[in-house]
Each structure stands twice: as structure tokens, then as C-alpha cells.
Structure 1
Amino acid sequence: MTDAPTTATTTGRTSPIPAAVDELWDHRGDLTTGDSEVLRVVVEALDLLDSGRSRVAWVDPGSDEVVVDERARRAILLSFRLFPMRETAIGPFRQHDRLPLKSAFPGVRLVPGAIARYGCYLAPGTVLMPSFVNIGAHVGAGTLVDTWATVGSCAQVGENVHVSGGAGLGGVLEPAGAVPVVVEDDAFVGSRSIVVEGARVRRGAKLGAGVLLTGTSRVFDAETGQELPRGEAPAWSVCVNATRPRSFPGGEFGMSCLLVIKQLAPGERHDKLLLDSLFREHGSAV
């Protein structure tokens, strides 16, 4: 049996978020919405996330672990407590919420119907079809978030990723220590796929339509039968949803798992025509 992905947490010395956030968090039960100094600290923290100068999580290049900045996550949770409910309007669209919508989109293509909340980061070259990107999410350059797709709170999406129509990347704000979803550079998340609970789609991995990947999903190599690390789509692999038999007192049932039907050699890249053929052969689709 293989373990779920490992993670680490930043210390106060490494977080760009103001240290005052920790003090506010320790006394959050006493805070009120009318304190302008408290609001200033929280807004400063969210501005760092909104501009991409800070982020909730990232992959450490040395350890290959997902590193989580708990201070950034605390700032987001404090905003839900401190920001007052208010009604705002953008054109014909109205909202009644504690958080405003994102207002700065340098180099981003935002199609009508797309929603991005303040506190998420969209790199130049990002394209949002009518979709939803939540606070704390970080979306890399050249990534397409397709129609009706969702990038949940604090989800981390790399560069040149395609999040297909109706796909959902789960969010995570609580409990402390919970790991955000991470989709690395050059990955593909197929239509109506669900990636949640800290699951990780490694670089160049392609998920077929309708894949369900959680942080504890079992992952198998179709050629060898070998079990791979749980909750991860391997780098430069092609993956589809599958089931494995499991016996219960009431009978034998099929439990969802991720099946790796092809894994490329180091340095090899996916051939588009072959990729389409693989998905069709296994009853999936791009």
C-alpha cells in the first residue's frame, strides 16, 4: 500500500503575508467588522494573494512536497468573519456577498459569464470561459478554464493547463493542515472530471472525461498492475476512471480508482492524435 502525498507548512519567516495575521487569528473571537486597522491588515494580505505576490500553496522544487502557507489561509478565513455583507453590481449582474469580485485582469481574457473572486490570482495569458475561480486560487499563464469549470478556494493550477468544461477542482480552507488541490504545468483535466481533497495532478498528466481523483484515491498501472502513490496522477501519464472489486458483508462492489493506461518515457511528450485514440479506446473522451 502506498501513502498519500506528503506536505509541509511554512513558518512565519517564509510567508510574505504580514505576521500580524497570526495575532489576529489568535484573537479572532474578539474581532469586529468596525476596526479599520484590523481590516487594513487583512486587505493587505488578500492584496498579496490577488496580485500573485503570495500564494496559499506551491510545490517545493527541492523536496517535491506541496508547501502550504497557513498564514495566507488564515487571512482568507478572517476576511469571511470581518468583511460586512454588501450588495454590488457590475453591469446587469448583482451580488450580495462579503467579498468583492476581482477587479484587475492584466493580460487575462475574461469571457462574459466568468466569475473570479477577489483574492485569486490569474496570470497573464489565462483564459476564463464562463466559469468560477474562488478566493486563494492561483492560475498560471496560458491556462484555459473552460465553460462551467470550477477552480475552488486555494486550488493551485500551473501553466498551460486545460481545465475542461464542467470539471471541478475542489477548494480547501479548513481544517488547518488540509492540502489544496494542485494541478501542475501542461496537465489536462477532462470534461466533468472531479479533483478534490488535496489530490495532485503532476506535470503533463492527462485525465480523461469523468475522472474522480481524491487525495486517497488508489492509483494503478494498467500494464503492470502495480499500485502507485495514492491521490496522484503521475507525470506525463494518460489516466482514466476505473473500478476495482472490493468485498463487503453485503456483497462485492466496484470501488472507484484511477487507472494509468500510458506513461511516457522521460523527455517524451504526448502526441495529440495518439492521445485522442487512447481515450476513445478506453471509453473516455477529451
Structure 2
Amino acid sequence: MIDELWERRAGLSPADEKATLVVTEALDRLDRGVDRVAGIDPVTDAVVVDERSRRAILLAFRLYALTETHAGPFHFRDRLPLKQRFDGVRLVPGAIARFGAYLAPGSVLMPSFVNVGAYVGAGTMVDTWATVGSCAQIGARVHLSGGVGIGGVLEPEGAVPVVVEDDAFVGSRSIVVEGARVRTGANLGAGTLLTGTTRVVDATTGEDLPRGEAPPWSVCVTAYRQQQFPGGVFGTPCLLVLRRLAPGETPDNLRISELFREHGYAL
């Protein structure tokens, strides 16, 4: 039904009540965690996108009418309503989650923003002023520190959302966008920039690793490589893998802080 609506999306409007019900059911499945916009294929280890779920979100912006709401003196005008299902979730005043985002039991949201289609796993902390963009997939026991920006993706079709896997730590003010992937147990230092095309370098060997991915069980920071351009030599950002951790190793913050201070960085 979503595919059929997508083919005639140009003619849809809020007056199409049956179409609106179909899309609402699809978003409700995302909201409850029954469906996900994306996940990891257990065989290929690739990120696989459910295009129907993403299409349902895009259709909602065409089918839902602009509605005015307010909370005390604050007034809003939007198409998508806010999330109303918070079973087992701690939601601090100032935190915002839109309908169609899933928050697993045990997750904690400080004043932050979680967009439609996003998935936040059990035991994950979304810290103050952090943003989880549309369709971003955040695993279990992840810590998104203050001011972290996790990018979203609704268009174009085929684009892969950001994935932060289980047990990862993303340091304050870091930016992870454009389909980048933070693998299981990876630790990103404060201010780390990771895009889908960022070069990743092993600090010990100088080896180039897969672009756009923080390796599993690693400690990473943003560094710069000198590169020759027609206009001169400039430093281009890369992700520097400072250290590999043993699988399952979860060093405490003091140990991580000591490691970053040793290399001249701070969390």
C-alpha cells in the first residue's frame, strides 16, 4: 500500500483520509519499534535500508496538515505530532522526540532532540543538546555526549543513515553524518568529525582503513593530513585510530581520558 501511494504521491493531500491512515499505521510501527528504517544484515554486515518505511515518513509530510500546538507560552506549528509512547524511558523536561521515533526501555533523554524514523536502543543516553537525526540508528548502551550531532537522512532514495552500534561512546560536540558508521564499542573523542567519506588511519601502522567507519573497539579522534592542492598544501581532516581495545573491553572514563591526554587530546 505504501508503494502504491508513493507512485501517486504528487496528487496526495491531507484530504486523503484512507492514505493518511495507512501512513499513520506505518509510522506507528516505527514508533513502537516493530519496524526499523535500517538495520545491519547479519550475513553481509552491511547497513540495509527499508525504503518503504522511509517512504512512509516522506508521505506523512504530504498527508499531514499543519497543526498548531502549544506547551505553556511556547507555540508550535508542524505536520508531525510529538511522540507519546515512553514505556520504560526517562525523558527529562526539554527533551523532544517526534512520532515515528523509537525509544527503547531504559534509554535516557536529557534536553535533546530525536527526529522521526530514528531508533534509540536500550540503556542509551542521549545527553544535553545532542541531536539524533531522522532515521539514524543508535544501538544499545551508547552514550551520545553533550552537543553531539548525529545526522539524519530521508532523501535521496538509497542513501544510508548514520549507524552507531552497541556500546559506543561519542564524545561531546562530535559530528557523525552522511551515512558514517560507528562500530561496536568504538570511542570517539570530543569534537570528532566523521562523515561517510572521511579517511580513517591507524596511528600505529599508518594504514588506511575503510572510510567513514570508526573501527570496533577502538579509540578515535579527528586529526589532519597534509594534502597538495593547486592552491597550496592544506590539512584535510581524517579519523585517527589511536588504540585498539580488546573485544568487550569497556575502559572507564579515567582510563580513556589518560589515553587522550597522552596524545594531546581531551574528551
Identify whether the pair has TM-score above 0.5, normalized to the shorter chain: yes
Instruction: Give yes or no for contact 2:185–2:248 (8 Å, CA) kept in 1.
Output: no
In the aligned structure 2, how far is the partner of 1:237 from the partner of 1:107?
A: 31
For 1:65, the equivalent position in structure 2 comes to 46
For 1:133, the equivalent position in structure 2 comes to 114
Q: Does 1:23 align with 2:16?
A: no
In the aligned structure 1, how far is the partner of 2:8 from the partner of 2:219?
A: 48
| Greater RCO, CA 8 A, separation 6+ | 1
For 1:116, the equivalent position in structure 2 comes to 97
Q: Give the AA of the match of 2:191.
A: G
In the aligned structure 2, how far is the partner of 1:94 from the partner of 1:119?
A: 21
1:273 Cα shift? 2.7
For 1:16, the equivalent position in structure 2 comes to none
1:35 Cα shift? 1.2
Give the SS at the match of 2:34: coil
Counterparts in 2 of 1:1-150, with a 5 A limit? 20-150=1-131
* Stretch of structure 1 that moved more, 93-102 or 212-221: 93-102
Instruction: Give yes or no for contact 2:132–2:151 (8 Å, CA) kept in 1.
Output: yes
For 2:206, the equivalent position in structure 1 comes to 225
Equivalent residue for 2:245, pick from 255, 264, 269? 264
In the aligned structure 1, how far is the partner of 2:168 from the partner of 2:247?
A: 16
CA deviations 1:238-264 (Å, max 9, x no partner) are 000100011011110000000000012
Q: Give the AA of the match of 1:22.
A: D
Instruction: Give yes or no for contact 1:169–1:194 (8 Å, CA) kept in 2.
Output: yes
Q: Does 1:191 align with 2:172?
A: yes
- The list of structure 1 runs, each at least 4 consecutive aligned residues, that deviate by more than 6 angstroms after superposition, is none
1:23 Cα shift? 0.4
For 1:3, the equivalent position in structure 2 comes to none
1:151 Cα shift? 0.2
TM-score (norm 1): 0.91
1:88 Cα shift? 1.2
Instruction: Give yes or no for contact 1:147–1:164 (8 Å, CA) kept in 2.
Output: yes
In the aligned structure 2, how far is the partner of 1:153 from the partner of 1:128?
A: 16
Give the SS at the match of 1:275: helix
In the aligned structure 1, how far is the partner of 2:246 from the partner of 2:122?
A: 26
Q: Give the AA of the match of 1:150.
A: T
Equivalent residue for 2:217, pick from 236, 248, 252? 236
TM-score (norm 2): 0.97
Residues 39, 267 of structure 1: alpha-carbon distance in 2 compared, 3 angstrom cutoff: closer
In the aligned structure 2, how far is the partner of 1:209 from the partner of 1:284?
A: 8
Aligned residues with identical type, % of pairs: 70
Instruction: Give yes or no for contact 2:217–2:248 (8 Å, CA) kept in 1.
Output: no
Instruction: Give yes or no for contact 1:131–1:148 (8 Å, CA) kept in 2.
Output: yes
Show structure 2 runs of 5+ residues with no match.
none
In the aligned structure 2, how far is the partner of 1:192 from the partner of 1:284?
A: 14
Equivalent residue for 2:133, pick from 149, 152, 164? 152
Show structure 1 runs of 5+ residues with no match.
1-19
In the aligned structure 2, how far is the partner of 1:100 from the partner of 1:164?
A: 26
1:267 Cα shift? 4.6
What RMSD over aligned residues (CA atoms) do the two structures have, in Å? 1.1
Q: Give the AA of the match of 2:257.
A: D
In the aligned structure 2, how far is the partner of 1:265 from the partner of 1:147?
A: 30
Q: Give the AA of the match of 1:115.
A: I
For 1:208, the equivalent position in structure 2 comes to 189
Instruction: Give yes or no for contact 1:190–1:285 (8 Å, CA) kept in 2.
Output: no
In the aligned structure 2, how far is the partner of 1:185 from the partner of 1:252?
A: 38
Residues 267, 140 of structure 1: alpha-carbon distance in 2 compared, 3 angstrom cutoff: closer
Instruction: Give yes or no for contact 1:212–1:258 (8 Å, CA) kept in 2.
Output: yes
* Stretch of structure 1 that moved more, 88-97 or 36-45: 88-97
